[in-house]
């Protein structure tokens, strides 16, 4: 189908301003660092975290040789092994699961469902025994293969799916969950890809050098059954070359199932019948797909120099937030921005229909950028990354203590900076990922070297390693000044509970008597939420609509 694409217009822009939204003073007192933990020694590299309602943090990554996570020492079975670790709120290690073989194996992405079940994806090139009778099978192939595994909160694998072993390289790179019970995986493949009996192929001669494409695979989150396998962006080798340069694709999923693919490309990239060509070193490509995998619109972002995307997230109203970095002059859908130094960071928001609503940039004379993104209960965005020297964010100015400092910043839904908080020392420090628990505590994963200060707290290491820190206190989460009481019936509820007045798709959280998130589900088109299977008891219901308005009620489930 023809794609809706945006023309790029040249225009002037001011550094460190928000383009396309109203101005206003939003400076607030930043929350303080409540805790900071050294998460291990050795060669491990954490790539992503997830935070459950109780404040437990899950981490995936890879390591070589020997590494220690908490009191657990892991030794790789091959060149690179993957791992999944769970940490309690106090930073102690609950458990670690190793994914390894004599080949190269890596866990690269993680997502949690409302019940705290972790889902991971990555690639492997040797047979891996996962436990609980589950195995990733290598067959006779030595090339990389994609996988996705679902675990329980206690670390037991419950199902796994993988690509069929072949001579073609492929791998999983990212995954996300919707509110309809699906997990979506994005990845890369060469020439062809098969999962079970479903196959997709690159639209060209098989085996053509550089014939790489991206895919979106949708699975039933409860059973692992493949629902769909969709070829998405194809990378085309430039004339006279035998390879295409690409960045492994990221994916974020709207609550209602629409999918957004995020990637960076150097050579031409093809979406449907539309070919995108970079304006310089590399550009960002953003593509929206409906729940069936049909492309709806695509946007190319960037300029003559290098640009990259970090993470993307969709709020309850279907707006897409995207964070990343850019160099020099870059065009974001008709809005031109210019970096103050080597790299600057950006945060932008698109409407569900693909209209750019605003772009906010930040940075200084050094290299600065964002990699992590989280939304609080009211839909306010938070960013994590790093900066060098001095950087400006709205009316705030931060100065690094050394090479680079880790940085966290809070924004309004209109793109204005609310507060910033940093951590670091004389070495290289970086905040890579972040996420909220049910109590509004912000958990931050990153790396540090030497001695790094987190407010009054301090961590030390001999070599660069991973940290996990927590931000809490005033100004962390923003909520409207009052909460509206919801009508809920029947009460007691047996099968469904009706919540009139909430828009379709609004996520409703069921919190038990101990303050734990027991269940989360969206409002249906008929204004109800199913409660079958929920443990009998009294629950507090909490919801926040697309405008940030909060609602609450209490219901007895029988």
Domains of the chain, by residue range, sit at 1-30+303-478, 483-557
Q: Is the peptide bond before 107 cis (omega within 30 degrees of 0)?
A: no
Q: What is the DSSP letter of 473?
A: S
Burial class, 294, CB count within 10 angstroms (exposed 0-12 / middle 13-18 / buried 19+): exposed
Distance CA 11, CA 13 (A): 7
Report the predicted TM-score, pTM, of the whole model to 2 decimal places. 0.83
Q: Which long-range contacts (CB under 8 A, 24 or more apart) does 374-377 make?
A: 374/313, 374/434, 374/435, 374/436, 374/442, 375/313, 375/315, 375/321, 376/436, 376/440, 376/476, 376/477, 376/478, 377/436, 377/440, 377/477, 377/479, 377/542, 377/544, 377/550
Please count the helices (runs of H) and the strands (runs of E) in the chain: 0, 49
Q: Which of 99, 93, 91 is nearest to 126 (CA)?
A: 99
Distance CA 536, CA 538 (A): 7
CATH topology of domain 483-557: Immunoglobulin-like (2.60.40)
* Residue 7 zone, left/alpha/beta (φ > 0; ψ -120 to 50; rest): beta
Q: Which of 347, 255, 334 is nearest to 300 (CA)?
A: 334
CB atoms within 10 A of CB 495: 12
Per-residue pLDDT 10s for the chain (558 aa) are 445 443 322 222 223 334 554 444 456 789 999 999 998 776 678 888 999 989 999 999 999 999 988 889 999 998 899 999 999 999 999 999 999 999 899 999 999 998 899 999 999 999 999 999 999 998 766 678 999 999 999 999 999 999 998 777 789 999 999 888 899 999 999 888 999 999 998 875 544 555 789 999 999 999 999 999 999 998 887 666 656 666 779 999 998 899 999 999 988 899 988 999 989 888 999 999 999 999 999 999 999 998 888 899 998 888 999 999 999 999 999 999 999 988 999 999 999 999 999 999 999 998 898 999 999 888 899 999 999 999 999 989 999 998 999 999 999 999 999 999 999 999 999 999 999 988 889 999 999 999 999 999 999 988 888 899 999 864 565 544 457 888 899 999 988 999 987 887 788 888 887 667 788 888 888 889 998 888 898 998 988 776 667 788 899 998
CB atoms within 10 A of CB 315: 20
Angle 264-339-245 from CA coordinates, rounded to 5°: 20
425-450 burial: b if 16+ Cβ within 10 Å, else e? bebbbbbbbbbbbbeebbbbbbbbbb
3-class DSSP state for residue 254?
coil
Q: Which long-range contacts (CB under 8 A, 24 or more apart) does 451-457 make?
A: 451/425, 451/426, 451/427, 452/406, 452/423, 452/424, 452/425, 452/427, 453/401, 453/423, 453/424, 453/425, 454/33, 454/36, 454/423, 455/32, 455/33, 455/423, 456/33, 457/33, 457/35, 457/36
What is the per-residue pLDDT for 95?
97
State the DSSP H helix or E strand holding residue 415, giving kind and residue range, or none if neither.
none
Q: What is the dihedral of CA 388, 394, 395, 396, to 10 degrees?
A: -30
What is the per-residue pLDDT for 39?
84
158 — phi, psi (to 5°)? -110, -30
Q: What is the dihedral of CA 215, 216, 218, 219, to 10 degrees?
A: 50
CA distances from 180 to 218, 253, 288, 318, 507 (A): 11, 11, 18, 15, 11
Helix, strand, coil distribution of the chain in percent, nearest 5? 0, 55, 45
Sheet holding 283-289, edge to edge: 250-253, 259-265, 283-289, 295-302, 329-332, 335-338
What is the per-residue pLDDT for 97?
97
Q: Do 270 and 537 meet the contact criterion of CB atoms below 8 Å apart? A: no
Q: Which of 43, 55, 175, 56 is nearest to 108 (CA)?
A: 175
């Amino acid at each position: 189908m023809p794609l809706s694409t945006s023309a790029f217009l040249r225009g002037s822009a001011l550094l460190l301003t928000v383009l396309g939204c109203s101005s206003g003073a939003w400076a607030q007192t930043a929350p303080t660092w409540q805790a900071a933990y050294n998460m291990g020694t050795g060669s491990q590299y954490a790539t992503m975290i997830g935070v459950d309602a109780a404040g437990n943090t899950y981490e995936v990554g890879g390591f070589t040789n020997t590494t220690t996570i908490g009191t657990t020492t892991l030794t790789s079975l091959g060149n690179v092994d993957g791992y999944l670790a769970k940490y309690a709120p106090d930073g102690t290690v609950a458990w670690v699961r190793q994914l390894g073989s004599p080949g190269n194996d890596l866990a690269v992405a993680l997502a949690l469902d409302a019940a705290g079940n972790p889902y991971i994806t990555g690639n492997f090139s040797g047979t891996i025994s996962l436990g609980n009778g589950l195995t990733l099978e290598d067959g006779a192939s030595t090339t990389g293969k994609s996988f996705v595994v679902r675990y329980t909160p206690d670390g037991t694998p419950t199902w796994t799916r993988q690509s069929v072993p072949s001579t073609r390289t492929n791998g999983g790179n990212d995954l996300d969950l919707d509110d309809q019970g699906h997990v979506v995986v994005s990845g890369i493949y060469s020439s062809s890809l098969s999962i079970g009996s479903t196959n997709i192929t690159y639209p060209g001669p098989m085996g053509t050098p550089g014939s790489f494409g991206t895919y979106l695979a949708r699975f039933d989150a409860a059973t692992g059954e493949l629902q769909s396998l969709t070829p998405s962006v194809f990378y085309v080798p430039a004339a006279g070359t035998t390879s295409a340069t690409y960045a492994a694709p990221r994916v974020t999923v709207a609550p209602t199932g629409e999918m957004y693919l995020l990637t960076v490309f150097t050579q031409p990239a093809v979406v449907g019948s539309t070919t995108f060509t970079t304006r310089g070193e590399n550009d960002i490509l953003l593509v929206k797909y409906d729940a069936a995998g049909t492309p709806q619109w695509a946007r190319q972002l960037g300029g003559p120099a290098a640009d990259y995307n970090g993470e993307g997230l969709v709020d309850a109203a279907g707006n897409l937030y995207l964070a990343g970095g850019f160099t020099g002059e870059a065009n974001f859908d008709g809005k031109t921005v210019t970096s103050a130094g080597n790299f600057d960071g950006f945060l932008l928001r698109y409407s569900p229909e693909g209209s750019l609503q605003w772009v906010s940039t930040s940075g200084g004379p050094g290299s600065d950028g964002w990699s992590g993104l989280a939304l609080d209960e009211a839909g306010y965005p938070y960013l994590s990354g790093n900066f060098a020297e001095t950087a400006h964010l709205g009316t705030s100015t931060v100065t690094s203590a050394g090479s680079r400092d880790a940085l966290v910043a809070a924004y309004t839904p209109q793109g204005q900076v609310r507060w910033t908080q940093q951590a670091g020392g004389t070495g290289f420090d970086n905040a890579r990922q972040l996420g909220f628990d049910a109590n509004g505590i912000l958990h931050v994963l990153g790396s540090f070297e030497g001695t790094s200060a987190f407010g009054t707290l301090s961590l030390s290491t001999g070599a660069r390693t991973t940290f996990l820190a927590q931000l809490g206190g005033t100004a962390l989460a923003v909520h409207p000044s009052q909460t509206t009481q919801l009508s809920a019936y029947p009460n007691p509820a047996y099968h469904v509970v009706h919540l009139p007045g909430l828009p379709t798709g609004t996520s409703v959280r069921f919190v038990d008597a101990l303050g734990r998130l027991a269940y989360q589900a969206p409002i249906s088109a008929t204004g109800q939420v199913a409660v079958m299977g929920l443990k009998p008891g009294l629950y507090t219901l909490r919801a926040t609509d697309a405008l940030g308005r909060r609602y609450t009620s209490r219901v007895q489930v029988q």
